[in-house]
Amino acid sequence: MKSKIVWITGASSGMGKATALEFAKKGYTLILTALEADLLEQVKQEALGLGAKNVFVLPFDLSKKEEITALAEQAWNLCGRIDIMYNNAGISQRGTTVETEMRVINKVMDVNYFAPVLIVKSILPKMIQQGGGQLAVTTSIAGKFGFPLRCAYCSSKHALNGFFETVAAEYYKDNIRVTIVCPGRVQTNISLYALEKDGTPHGKMDKGQASGISVEKAGKQIVKAIEKQKREVLVGRKELLMVYVKRFFPALAAKIARSIESM
């Protein structure tokens, strides 16, 4: 069997890195994208040491919407195909709806929502032409309900769910499969780099984030779900119960959301 090719965004740390290393153990060819070129090189060397067939590094700022189509073309041309596209990169936000500046909301939407949309629109026709492929995306349980201080973040994650569910419905017959990765609390740096109401970094690890599952455990669950082509996978601990509370007891979910602690 020829090595499958997986492109991962947000691959320099957290779940992106953990997922890349899990794929590496299985002999995949990796294409890694994130802001930090030096960290990507470190992940590349780790991945090669674990058994990745080949690793390509494509550093990029996903807030540069006008350049994403060219990035997707470059990624595709590296190997002439992509079997799995995992849109994992994202940023969070801390601030009330009134106080959060529009430029912060725009940046969160650009990175979390519009970047994956542009990537999918670029490579999806090629995947169809090659006979199929798989799209994966990191959303969040924050994409299932809204709660305080996350107006932009929750919006972007709700939008991702709608977009990728639509793609799954439209192109199933073309052998396109979609896996929605829905994490709760995972020990990543997302809260450190979250944007405050004025765009400055949050700069601290939230209590809920610190108590989450390890990125290694999350990475194993994500890769397993992608390889099994699951429609959706919930990643986390007891906080995932909120997904079911929202489904069956929406009024209770709303009450809980009003007092939920930062994630």
193: annotated active-site residue: no
- Residue bearing the bigger pLDDT, 192 or 32: 32
Residue 262 counted as domain residue:
no
Q: How many residues does the chain have?
A: 263
pLDDT at 51: 97
Render pLDDT for 22-54 as a digit per residue (tens, 0 to 9).
999 999 999 999 999 999 999 999 999 999 999
Asked if residue 104 belongs to a domain, the reply is yes
Which of 28, 86, 113, 153 does the annotation list as catalytic?
153
In a domain, 25, yes or no: yes
Which pLDDT tens digit goes with each residue over 70-110? 999 999 999 999 999 999 999 999 999 999 999 999 999 99
Cα separation values, 192 from 93, 94, 116, Å: 10, 11, 22
- Quick one: DSSP state of residue 159? H
Rounded to two decimals, the pTM is: 0.94
What's the total number of domains in the chain?
1
Predicted local confidence at residue 257, as pLDDT: 86
Q: Which residue has the tokens 């929406």?
A: 250
Q: What is the pLDDT of residue 262?
A: 53
Give a yes or no: residue 122 inside a domain.
Answer: yes
* Inside any domain, residue 64: yes
The answer to whether 93 and 104 are in contact (CB under 8 A) is: yes
Supply the DSSP string of 48-77, one letter for each residue: HHHT-SEEEE----TT-GGGHHHHHHHHHH
CA–CA dist 263, 245 (Å, integer): 18
Kindly tell me if the per-residue pLDDT of 260 is higher than 80.
Answer: no
CATH number for the domain that contains residue 213: 3.40.50.720
d(CA 112, CA 88): 9
Give the structural domain span for 164: 5-257
Residue holding tokens 């067939």? 53
Residue 263 lies in a domain: no
Asked if the structure places residue 207 within a domain, the reply is yes
Asked whether residue 62 is assigned to any structural domain, the reply reads: yes
- State the average pLDDT over residues 14-21: 97
